[in-house]
Amino acid sequence: MSYVGKWRIIETSAWDTKYLDESEDASVEFTKESGTMIFGYVHIEMDVVKEKIGDIEILGYSFVGNDEDDEVSGWGWFRQTQTKDEMEGNIYFRYGENSEIRIARNKKGC
């Protein structure tokens, strides 16, 4: 699974697309061991680890950041879908919401 680069958040189970793009285009950007995620008023920095469970490669992450003026933290994961340029997973906010999330590789820039 090649995940390094910029991805567009295309769907979540907790927030509609209008909210996702409220402050700027909803996106995830990965380097080899870290990343950022922006949606709504949420801006987070991630520590990323790639692992294999059976035949499935999982991209796990923990995060810290803010939602407007509130500090947030949590964890989540992604796995590649049958479509090579999409991943799906979950995001869990500590003491808060959680959501399924789907992202697509950004081909043109967010």
Q: Is residue 66 in a domain?
A: yes
Q: Is residue 110 in a domain?
A: no
Q: Is residue 82 in a domain?
A: yes
Q: Is residue 93 in a domain?
A: yes
Q: Is residue 94 in a domain?
A: yes
pLDDT of residue 110: 45
Q: Is residue 30 in a domain?
A: yes
DSSP state of 37: E
48's CB contacts (< 8 A; 6+ apart) are 3, 30, 31, 32, 33, 34, 35, 59, 60, 61
Q: Is residue 44 in a domain?
A: yes
pLDDT of residue 72: 97
Q: Is the Cβ–Cβ distance between 58 and 51 less than 8 Å?
A: yes
Residue 46: other Cβ atoms inside 10 A: 25
Q: Is residue 101 in a domain?
A: yes
Confidence category of residue 1, pLDDT binned at 50, 70, 90: low
Number of structural domains in the chain: 1
Mean pLDDT, the chain, as a whole number?
A: 93
Domain housing 69: 5-105
pLDDT (tens digit per residue) in 51-77: 998 998 999 999 999 999 999 999 999
